[in-house]
Amino acid sequence: MNKPIRLLTVAAATLAILFSLGCDKLRARDQLNKGVTAYKNAKYEEAIDHFQQSVALDPKLINAKMYLATAFAQQYIPGADTPDNNKMAEQAIEQYKHVLDMPNTAREQKVNAAKGVASLYYNMKKFDDAKKYNHMVSELDPNDPDPYYSIGVIDWAECYQPRMEERAKLGLKPDEELNPKNKDQKKACEQLKTQNWPLIQEGIDNLNHAIQLRPDYDDAMAYLNLMFREKADVECDDLATRQEDLKTADHWVDQTLITKKAKAEKQPGAQGITLDQSK
């Protein structure tokens, strides 16, 4: 085979490859569109199949990976600790992480992917991993209050459960104050304070920051109330500080109600808050 013929053969082969790649990309987008239609119609298994085909045809199609991750996440049921259910979450996390690792992913897509991973880890009660990805969100978008709120919620969850378990062991009612004169109660309080204090401080700091970024963040206000009650319950024999913490907690209850009322009044057609006179 002479040189001109070899060059023509190579050129033809190159064109065939390029044509095939172009067709694959077109088919990938067609599968993506079909998947979106199925997803919007709540046909999640069908949507997953289309998105998987789209990703296989064009591994660089970020939107297909995002939709695939979202479809897996939609199938996951929080709190149902079964192998099949957990696999749904793990598959969603895997796709979100692919999006985060891809070099051409836009910042907004990275934020959404990191939030998706953080939310799934939170629902799976993998709190350290959830915090890690919420920190990633805050690094990608420092002005987003949501990751700070989410970290505060996680900190409260990590404080509340062991505290309530310890109180149950002591035979205390949920709203019963610890007695610093009781040796066992004081010891338990000091142990809880050592364990929970860093989480309490981190939670309060993050929730305050969320409110600084979004002054009407009523959910963050509600959790600040809860965090100050956690703080109050481990003040042990410092009764003055305990009372101050409870006063601060009550303040955030009031602020939550005021903010919710103001939001309700801003809604179109809102008539304000009315009380049920029959009760």
pLDDT tens, residue by residue, 254-274: 999 999 999 998 887 644 433
**Whose CA is closest to 160, among 196, 187, 127?**
196
State yes or no: pLDDT of 1 exceeds 80: no
pLDDT on residue 272: 41
Determine if residue 186 is left, alpha or beta; phi over 0 gives left, psi from -120 to 50 gives alpha, anything else beta: alpha
Q: Which amino acid is at 104?
A: N
pLDDT on residue 184: 87
- What's the rounded mean pLDDT across residues 16-25? 55
In angstroms, rounded to a whole number, what is the distance separating the alpha carbons of residues 48 and 31?
A: 10
Burial 193-213 (b: 16+ CB within 10 A, else e): eeebeebbebbbebbebbbeb
CB 261 within 8 A of CB 206: no
pLDDT on residue 181: 80
State yes or no: pLDDT of 276 exceeds 90: no
In angstroms, rounded to a whole number, what is the distance separating the alpha carbons of residues 68 and 89?
A: 12
- List the single range of 34-38, 61-65, 73-77, 267-271 with lowest mean pLDDT: 267-271
In angstroms, rounded to a whole number, what is the distance separating the alpha carbons of residues 195 and 155?
A: 12
- What's the rounded mean pLDDT across residues 238-263? 95
CB 241 within 8 A of CB 235: yes
- Element of type H or E holding 154: helix 146-169
Q: How confident is the model at residue 13 (pLDDT cuts 50, 70, 90)?
A: very low
**Whose CA is closest to 111, among 87, 137, 149?**
137
Q: How confident is the model at residue 22 (pLDDT cuts 50, 70, 90)?
A: low
pLDDT on residue 177: 79
pLDDT on residue 87: 96
State yes or no: pLDDT of 7 exceeds 50: no
Q: How confident is the model at residue 226 (pLDDT cuts 50, 70, 90)?
A: very high
pLDDT on residue 173: 82
Q: How confident is the model at residue 247 (pLDDT cuts 50, 70, 90)?
A: very high
CB 137 within 8 A of CB 115: yes
What average pLDDT is seen over the chain? 87
- What's the rounded mean pLDDT across residues 124-143? 97
Instruction: For the domain made up of 28-142, give the CATH fold.
Output: 1.25.40
- List the single range of 6-10, 54-58, 175-179 with lowest mean pLDDT: 6-10
